Structure 1
Amino acid sequence: MENFRLKVFRAVAEALSFRKAAEMLHLSQPAVSQQIRALEEEVGTRLFDRAGGDRHNSQIALTEAGRVLLDYARRSAIMLLEAERALAALNHEVTGELKLGASTTVAQYFLPRILGAFLKQYPQVHISMISGNTEHIAEAVANEKVDLGIIEGPALRRDLKTESMTPDELVLIVSPLHEWAQRKTVLAAQDLTTSPLLMRERGSGSRTVVERALRQAGLRQRELKIVMELDSTEAIISGVEAGLGAGFVSRWAISKVLRLGAVKVIKVAGLRIAREFRFVWPAGAELSGAAESFYRFAQAATRHEG
């Protein structure tokens, strides 16, 4: 429902780049420039200061008129979105855009099948998703870059509200050729200090949960032989398969490699690393529209699985 020229204007104004706006809108740069030029002619004033006079130059800034129009364009977009939702509600429809943020394990191993079922039931919803570690997704939610986040660990922020989605467990895996894979007895917690370990990067929800569990088991970080910090669960699994060390990963992530015999799960006495995947959204805010529908759909889906 939003005027197309205003939509293009908002994209350029918020990115301060014709190139980035073109990429986001899936348009060519000349098409974006043409829309901005037409809008400036329509309102009778320049909306951007362009360095060197180049319309494609990324070094641009809003003029005073541009700043005024951006404020009204944003408010207009919000009102039109509310109008779409209100009209859809009259027909008991769920429509519009849903911007999700998900931690890497959630995005790669857990969420795809839920998204597929959701879109089958609500085909008029357009979904975009970003992924990153828990810290990254929490920041995106706080800055309202996404409507709803799903994270692997605690948000550790007072400006965000979290709610349980589904339980998860982190398990220790090794290569079938690792010495622990041949043991007949359960591993003692202290044995974890004798082998190279692959860990997720700092800021990862998985890293936070693993470190907490190891401390509770009486192990200090300086006792561990952390040989590599990796930015994804997939990287840890690949490293373990290659014999680089042992690693902790979500059970959701290893069903395929377990079937193939590429890794083996090792039990550690007195160590069970349970956690929850959690929804996260700004504290004090209420979910609405497609975000609320997805929240309720995902809750029902995970309860049914449980």
Structure 2
Amino acid sequence: MENFRLRVFRAVAEELSFRKAAEVLHLSQPAVSQHVRALEEEAGVQLFDRARGAGHGSQISLTEAGRVLLRYANAAAETMVEARRSLAALHEEADGPLKLGASTTVAQYLLPRILGAFLKQYPQVKLSLVSGNTEQIVEAVAEKKVELGIIEGPAMRREVKTERMVQDEMVLIVSPNHVWARKGGAIEKKELAKVPLLLRERGSGSRRVVERALKKLGLPLRSLQVAMELDSTEAIISGVEAELGVGFVSLWALGKALRLGTVKVVAVKGLEMRRDFSFVRLAGAEMTGAAAAFQRFALGAAGGGNS
């Protein structure tokens, strides 16, 4: 992909000999000299001092213009190497093992349709999926147990890097029989302190989002009636359906429950809980092969939002 005249120029500049450059490039010496002369004519400058190169095989030297061009030619060559690497990864045939990690909400509600379509397009990929809360998935990435994770909260570790996948919104749900569902409209924030609250377990990304948003609203967790700590979004939805309390869950998780009418979404004045589902990987690690293919595919598949 590199301009061939620049490649010849770099070889001559490195060897400081037309003959040696010709040997490296597997060209004739006249062909090397011709390429260099053509480059000099194109640039309008002399690149080599040939005064010392009259004898057969004797050395030459770079002019000031030659030294300037060499810096740019080397930089251009490095850029082309990076370009080749990126293009190869883009068109790389994804196959072999792919170890993914996903936090609970993502694994249960977002990933299934994406993984089905991905494996249909890349049938040679051998997928393994680990699920857990955000803290557990970040730890799995940091310990190289999975190549790529998808989490629903902040990573909280320096050795990993996150990249947004898609936006999510956490909402308050109640039973259809709850007084808030029957009266309609947004509730005052102080009302939250009067009802049993179902929360995700400590270490959950969803819980961190809820805690931060409530604290910002002036409702620290100690001021609320935490009735249960549950280990999944599905458990919170089931608990709300059974009228054990109210809870905050991802909109991605509510499709079926909202269609069936088993829960209702209730707005809280002044409260908004938006967050990102994010890819997480080792900082400084370059995604290649099946992992890179999956990240590109998932970004495209999730781009339509949570409709």
Fold shared per TM-score above 0.5? yes
Instruction: Give the Å deviation of 1:218.
Output: 0.8
Match of 1:232?
232
Match of 1:278?
278
Name the SS of the counterpart of 1:166 in structure 2.
Answer: strand
Name the SS of the counterpart of 2:120 in structure 1.
Answer: helix
Name the SS of the counterpart of 1:94 in structure 2.
Answer: coil
In structure 1, C-alpha distance between the alignment counterparts of 2:135 and 2:91, rounded to whole Å? 38
CA contact (8 A) 2:198 2:229 kept: yes
* Matching of residue 128 in structure 1 with residue 128 in structure 2: yes
CA contact (8 A) 2:147 2:291 kept: yes
Instruction: Give the Å deviation of 1:184.
Output: 3.1
In structure 1, C-alpha distance between the alignment counterparts of 2:160 and 2:263, rounded to whole Å? 37
In structure 2, C-alpha distance between the alignment counterparts of 1:90 and 1:161, rounded to whole Å? 21
Relative to structure 1, the CA distance from residue 257 to residue 91 in structure 2 (aligned partners, 3 Å threshold; closer, same or farther) is: closer
In structure 1, C-alpha distance between the alignment counterparts of 2:283 and 2:122, rounded to whole Å? 27
Instruction: Give the Å deviation of 1:180.
Output: 1.3
In structure 2, C-alpha distance between the alignment counterparts of 1:305 and 1:275, rounded to whole Å? 13
- Mapping of 1:51-62 within 5 angstroms? none
Instruction: Give the Å deviation of 1:92.
Output: 4.2
Instruction: Give the Å deviation of 1:303.
Output: 2.3
Aligned-residue Cα RMSD (Å) equals 1.6
CA contact (8 A) 2:92 2:289 kept: no
Relative to structure 1, the CA distance from residue 217 to residue 95 in structure 2 (aligned partners, 3 Å threshold; closer, same or farther) is: same
Instruction: Give the Å deviation of 1:201.
Output: 0.3
- Mapping of 1:63-102 within 5 angstroms? 92-102=92-102
Instruction: Give the Å deviation of 1:117.
Output: 0.8
In structure 2, C-alpha distance between the alignment counterparts of 1:280 and 1:91, rounded to whole Å? 23
Name the SS of the counterpart of 2:123 in structure 1.
Answer: coil
In structure 2, C-alpha distance between the alignment counterparts of 1:207 and 1:284, rounded to whole Å? 29
TM-score (norm 1): 0.69
Instruction: Give the Å deviation of 1:185.
Output: 3.2
Relative to structure 1, the CA distance from residue 112 to residue 90 in structure 2 (aligned partners, 3 Å threshold; closer, same or farther) is: closer
Instruction: Give the Å deviation of 1:157.
Output: 0.6
Name the SS of the counterpart of 1:244 in structure 2.
Answer: coil
CA contact (8 A) 2:166 2:305 kept: no
Relative to structure 1, the CA distance from residue 91 to residue 165 in structure 2 (aligned partners, 3 Å threshold; closer, same or farther) is: closer
In structure 2, C-alpha distance between the alignment counterparts of 1:90 and 1:206, rounded to whole Å? 33
Match of 1:119?
119
Relative to structure 1, the CA distance from residue 183 to residue 92 in structure 2 (aligned partners, 3 Å threshold; closer, same or farther) is: same
* Alpha-carbon displacement from aligned partner over 1:143-172 (angstroms, at most 9, x marks no partner): 000010000001011010000000000000
Q: 1:200 corresponds to which letter in structure 2?
A: R
In structure 1, C-alpha distance between the alignment counterparts of 2:124 and 2:89, rounded to whole Å? 13
Instruction: Give the Å deviation of 1:177.
Output: 1.2
Instruction: Give the Å deviation of 1:89.
Output: 7.4
Match of 1:257?
257
Relative to structure 1, the CA distance from residue 160 to residue 177 in structure 2 (aligned partners, 3 Å threshold; closer, same or farther) is: same
Relative to structure 1, the CA distance from residue 91 to residue 142 in structure 2 (aligned partners, 3 Å threshold; closer, same or farther) is: closer
Instruction: Give the Å deviation of 1:301.
Output: 1.7
* Matching of residue 107 in structure 1 with residue 95 in structure 2: no
Relative to structure 1, the CA distance from residue 124 to residue 271 in structure 2 (aligned partners, 3 Å threshold; closer, same or farther) is: same
Relative to structure 1, the CA distance from residue 123 to residue 103 in structure 2 (aligned partners, 3 Å threshold; closer, same or farther) is: same
CA contact (8 A) 2:149 2:280 kept: yes
Which protein is bigger by CA-based radius of gyration? 2
Return 5+ residue gaps in structure 1 as ranges.
Answer: 1-87
In structure 2, C-alpha distance between the alignment counterparts of 1:231 and 1:210, rounded to whole Å? 15
In structure 2, C-alpha distance between the alignment counterparts of 1:90 and 1:169, rounded to whole Å? 32
Name the SS of the counterpart of 2:271 in structure 1.
Answer: coil
Q: 2:301 corresponds to which letter in structure 1?
A: A
In structure 2, C-alpha distance between the alignment counterparts of 1:166 and 1:89, rounded to whole Å? 23
* Matching of residue 149 in structure 1 with residue 149 in structure 2: yes
* Alpha-carbon displacement from aligned partner over 1:94-142 (angstroms, at most 9, x marks no partner): 1100000000000000001010111111110010001000000000000
Q: 2:223 corresponds to which letter in structure 1?
A: E
* Alpha-carbon displacement from aligned partner over 1:13-44 (angstroms, at most 9, x marks no partner): xxxxxxxxxxxxxxxxxxxxxxxxxxxxxxxx
Number of residue-to-residue matches in the alignment: 219
Aligned residues with identical type, % of pairs: 65
* Alpha-carbon displacement from aligned partner over 1:54-94 (angstroms, at most 9, x marks no partner): xxxxxxxxxxxxxxxxxxxxxxxxxxxxxxxxxx9799421
Instruction: Give the Å deviation of 1:221.
Output: 1.3
In structure 1, C-alpha distance between the alignment counterparts of 2:274 and 2:92, rounded to whole Å? 38
- Mapping of 1:28-39 within 5 angstroms? none
Name the SS of the counterpart of 1:252 in structure 2.
Answer: helix
Match of 1:205?
205
Match of 1:241?
241
Match of 1:215?
215
In structure 2, C-alpha distance between the alignment counterparts of 1:185 and 1:151, rounded to whole Å? 32
Name the SS of the counterpart of 1:117 in structure 2.
Answer: helix
In structure 2, C-alpha distance between the alignment counterparts of 1:279 and 1:253, rounded to whole Å? 19
Q: 2:204 corresponds to which letter in structure 1?
A: S
Match of 2:188?
188
